[in-house]
Amino acid sequence: MKSIKTKIIIGIILCSLLTAAIISILVIVNTTKVTRSDAIDTMNYRASAVTNDLDKKIECVEQSVNTLATIAMSRMSTNRFMKDVNYADSFTGWIIDDVNRFAEATEGAITCYVRYNPEYSNPVSGIFLTRDSLSDPFESVTPTDFSMYDPSDLEHVGWYYLPVQNGAPLWMDPYLNSNINVYMISYVVPLYAEDGTSVGIVGMDIAFNELTDMVDELKIYDSGYAFIASSEGMILHHKSIESGTDLSTKDKSLAGFKAFLESSATSETSLTYKLDGKEMTMVAKPTANNEYLVLTAPSSELFANTKTLLYYIIGVALLALVVCAFVGLLVGNSMSRPINTLTGIIEQTAKLDLTASGKSDNLQKQRDEIGHMAKEVHGMRNAFRDMVDSFIEVEQTVTDNVDELNAIMQENTRLANENGLATNNLVSGMQEAADNTANIVENISAIRSQSVDIANLAQEGERNSMEIQQRANDMSYKSNNSMQQTHGMYSEMKRRSEAAIEQAKAVSRINALTDDIKSISSQTNLLALNASIEAARAGDMGKGFAVVATEIGSLATDTLNTVENISQMVAEVNQAVSAMSDCISEVMNYLESTVLSDYQMFAESGDKYREDADYFISVMSEIMTNVTALENNINEISSATDMINNMTASSADGIRDIAYKSTQMQEANESGHNKLNAVLDSVDNLDKIIARFKWK
């Protein structure tokens, strides 16, 4: 077990170590952040300084070419140029001296040229001044023949058509002039007439090393360097990467290189990347010719000062830790000494040694927590002394009371045993009575259940009897009603059939009429025949009468045919009337002999059915009356039995409660004896405990 002194020392060391670690981490983080920010600011400052120098050279070239373009347009008559093909050659002679003078005055110029729109001039018209080195004078050579190349051939004539398509001055990407083996960069200004028609260009090629030498001279830290990139992220000049290389393909950390260049135009940002396995940090600045100067250095060199500071902070933290450990040792000793003294007093108290000691007097005088603890321990020891004196007095009092209580408990035990035996006998008798009463109650319950079943059956029979009586009444009523309706229908059918048969006799009168009509038709026909004969005798005078006679004969024939048809129909009607009469006779006979007799029998059965239902209802009512009387008698017996059962149960419960309480009293007496014995044992133990204390 570690001592308090050790814990205090360890606590102080841990707190010091934690404090030092937190402060160190905060210092390192902030220092690293500030160091990185300072390093980036330094790189941006150095890059900005070189970018300003580059812009001066670039602006000098732009000023020369722009001025030359202004001079050329001020001297050119665009109307004559677009109308006369040979005007361009004459114009060349007017400005060649100016072109040569500006080329000589521009630092780093390798070529200077003025070319015209081939649509309005000869294919080789224009000025092209060149020299092999910056120390040589300019010479005029024959310009490129436009007729040899298509305008879409940007590889050979892009230097002309790209600025024209751009519609504004344009810096061309660097390229190698294989004729003079010089890496150059071009600035071209397109020329336009007042109506916007392109009339030519003015351009100048600058040795690219005029810019790259300044870039190569830019160094930072131990191995930091600069390079030039295009706005598309292509390498234009680098100490170890070939020109035209897309830098974003060198490592996945450079995938955002183009976006980084765009953002660097508006803010001083940086990009951390890896190149050839080494972590690098770069900053970029845009130049006046839409290129970017990039300054890069290993990240380890940027944070070299941070490592030195880290070592310094660790050393200071270790020194502070040693000092804190020494201070903790001193503080621990000063705190552990009085605690050890107080611990000795507490150990003495733990051994029940309460004799006075002078060791705590000095501790009680201290005005700190230890002094307060010493005072409390002293008070505790005095309280223990007082408790021992009280224990002795209590011991004597308890001993005296226990002897008296022991005698009383023995007498209570004897009486409880006698009471328990008598009560157990009484409980057995009451239990037997209760069992007999329970059997009676059970039998009465069975009788009541059976009587209830009989009552239910009687009630059900009475209800069924009433339903049977109702159905019998309905049957009797319906049978009598149907029989009366059948009698009425039979009388009506009989009356109507007799009337129909009587009316059918009128057909015989129709036969007599048809016979009369036949006789009249025969006579008419005979009369018409005679009239025809007489008309034939009369000749022409009788022709009209002959026609009438013919028509009358035809009418008589038609009448005879009609009468024959009527006779045929009358015969059929007679036959139908005869069949109908036979059918009606059969129906009337069936109604009279069968239906009416059946309805009479139904009515008699309904009356008999109603009489039986009335008798059945009277029997069920008598059964219900007897069952009700039986139920009343059973209820009276059951009530009396319940009273006996309740009295028996109540008596049994009272006796059982007396027995239970007697048993509890006996157990309490036994427990009291046990407690008395335990108290006696406790008194003995109290004597032994008091004997262990030393307080005098």
CB atoms within 10 A of CB 114: 25
pLDDT band at 236 (very low <50, low <70, confident <90, very high): very high
Query: From CA 419, how far away is CA 225, in angstroms rounded?
Result: 118
Q: Which helix (H) or strand (E) holds 600?
A: helix 596-692
Residue type, 375: K
- Predicted pLDDT at 62: 94
Query: From CA 281, how far away is CA 237, in angstroms rounded?
Result: 18
Average pLDDT over residues 454-480: 64
- Predicted pLDDT at 261: 92
| pLDDT tens, position by position, 21-77 | 787 777 667 776 777 788 888 899 999 999 999 999 999 999 999 999 999 999 999
**Percentage of residues in the chain with pLDDT exceeding 70?**
49
Query: From CA 168, how far away is CA 666, in angstroms rounded?
Result: 125
Average pLDDT over residues 170-189: 84
**Top-confidence residue, 329 or 294:** 294
Average pLDDT over residues 318-331: 73
Burial tier of 465 (Cβ tally within 10 Å: 0-12, 13-18, 19+): buried
361 found inside a domain: no
Residue keyed to tokens 């002039």? 177
Across 29-38, 277-286, 513-522, the highest mean pLDDT is recorded for 277-286
- Asked if pLDDT for residue 242 goes beyond 60, the answer is yes
Query: From CA 216, how far away is CA 202, in angstroms rounded?
Result: 30
Backbone angles phi, psi at 150, to 5 degrees: -80, 145
Residues 6+ apart with CB under 8 A from 170: 162, 163, 187, 188, 190
571 found inside a domain: yes
Enter the tokens of residue 577.
């009337």
Query: Is the pTM for the entire model greater than 0.75?
Result: no
Across 20-29, 32-41, 413-422, 675-684, the highest mean pLDDT is recorded for 32-41
Query: From CA 569, how far away is CA 565, in angstroms rounded?
Result: 6
Give the residue from 243, 273, 300 where a domain finishes. Answer: 300
- Among residues 172, 186, 200, the alpha carbon closest in space to that of 115 is found at 200
Sheet holding 225-230, edge to edge: 235-237, 225-230, 291-298, 278-286, 271-275
Instruction: Please state the separation of Cα 611 from the chain's center in Å.
Output: 81
Residue keyed to tokens 């803010």? 267
Residues 6+ apart with CB under 8 A from 98: 68, 71, 72
- Among residues 664, 619, 604, the alpha carbon closest in space to that of 464 is found at 619
- Among residues 230, 595, 412, 103, the alpha carbon closest in space to that of 114 is found at 103
pLDDT band at 389 (very low <50, low <70, confident <90, very high): low
Query: From CA 582, how far away is CA 319, in angstroms rounded?
Result: 150
- Asked if pLDDT for residue 387 goes beyond 90, the answer is no
- Asked if pLDDT for residue 346 goes beyond 90, the answer is no
6 found inside a domain: no
Helices (H), 368-505: 369-504
433-462 per-residue burial string, b: 16 or more CB within 10 A, e: under 16: bbeebeeebeebeeebeebeeebeebeebb
Enter the tokens of residue 688.
């032994």
Give the residue from 241, 272, 300 where a domain finishes. Answer: 300
pLDDT band at 608 (very low <50, low <70, confident <90, very high): low
Residues 6+ apart with CB under 8 A from 193: 78, 81, 82, 199
Query: From CA 460, how far away is CA 449, in angstroms rounded?
Result: 16
Q: What is the DSSP letter of 259?
A: H
| pLDDT tens, position by position, 200-229 | 999 999 999 888 999 999 999 889 999 999
Average pLDDT over residues 440-454: 60
Residue keyed to tokens 């000869």? 122
- Predicted pLDDT at 448: 61
Q: Which helix (H) or strand (E) holds 164?
A: helix 154-166
Rg of the chain in Å (alpha carbons): 74
Across 292-301, 354-363, 410-419, 590-599, the highest mean pLDDT is recorded for 292-301
Average pLDDT over residues 331-360: 68
**Which CATH number covers residue 237?**
3.30.450.20
The full 3-state SS of 260-317, as one line of letters, equals HHHHHCCCCCCEEEEECCEEEEEEEEECCCCEEEEEEEEHHHHCHHHHHHHHHHHHHH
557 found inside a domain: yes
Average pLDDT over residues 574-600: 63
- Predicted pLDDT at 286: 94
321 found inside a domain: no
Which of 226-235, 261-270, 416-425 bottoms out in mean pLDDT, i.e. has the lowest? 416-425
Q: Is 115 helix (H, G, I), strand (E, B) or coil?
A: strand
Enter the tokens of residue 390.
């009280």
pLDDT band at 443 (very low <50, low <70, confident <90, very high): low
pLDDT band at 81 (very low <50, low <70, confident <90, very high): very high
529 found inside a domain: yes
Which of 388-392, 530-534, 577-581, 613-617 bottoms out in mean pLDDT, i.e. has the lowest? 613-617
Are β-strands 126-130 and 225-230 bridged in parallel, bridged antiparallel, or unpaired? unpaired
- Predicted pLDDT at 1: 47
Q: What is the DSSP letter of 396?
A: H
Q: What is the mean pLDDT of the chain?
A: 75
Instruction: Please state the separation of Cα 77 from the chain's center in Å.
Output: 77
- Predicted pLDDT at 284: 95
Are β-strands 198-207 and 225-230 bridged in parallel, bridged antiparallel, or unpaired? unpaired
Residues 6+ apart with CB under 8 A from 545: 531, 534, 535, 538
pLDDT band at 112 (very low <50, low <70, confident <90, very high): very high
pLDDT band at 615 (very low <50, low <70, confident <90, very high): low
Q: What is the DSSP letter of 129?
A: E
Query: From CA 143, how far away is CA 159, in angstroms rounded?
Result: 13
Which of 167-181, 408-422, 543-557 bottoms out in mean pLDDT, i.e. has the lowest? 408-422
Enter the tokens of residue 47.
């890059």
- Among residues 29, 53, 33, 50, the alpha carbon closest in space to that of 283 is found at 50
590-620 per-residue burial string, b: 16 or more CB within 10 A, e: under 16: ebeeebeeebeebbeebeebbeebeebbeeb
CB atoms within 10 A of CB 271: 20
- Predicted pLDDT at 652: 58
Residues 6+ apart with CB under 8 A from 144: 115, 124, 128, 156, 157
Query: From CA 15, how far away is CA 8, in angstroms rounded?
Result: 10
- Predicted pLDDT at 78: 92
Query: From CA 140, how far away is CA 580, in angstroms rounded?
Result: 148
Give the residue from 300, 327, 348 where a domain finishes. Answer: 300
Q: What is the DSSP letter of 365?
A: T
- Predicted pLDDT at 59: 94
191 found inside a domain: yes
Q: Is 24 helix (H, G, I), strand (E, B) or coil?
A: helix
Query: From CA 229, how far away is CA 261, in angstroms rounded?
Result: 9
Average pLDDT over residues 602-617: 62
The number of distinct structural domains making up the chain is 2
Enter the tokens of residue 397.
């009092």
Domain that holds residue 111: 39-300
Which of 170-174, 487-491, 532-536, 627-631 bottoms out in mean pLDDT, i.e. has the lowest? 627-631
Residues 6+ apart with CB under 8 A from 302: 35, 36, 39, 40, 221, 281
**Percentage of residues in the chain with pLDDT exceeding 90?**
27
**Which CATH number covers residue 570?**
1.10.287
End-to-end Cα, the chain, rounded Å: 35
528 found inside a domain: yes
Instruction: Please state the separation of Cα 556 from the chain's center in Å.
Output: 108
Q: Is 220 helix (H, G, I), strand (E, B) or coil?
A: strand
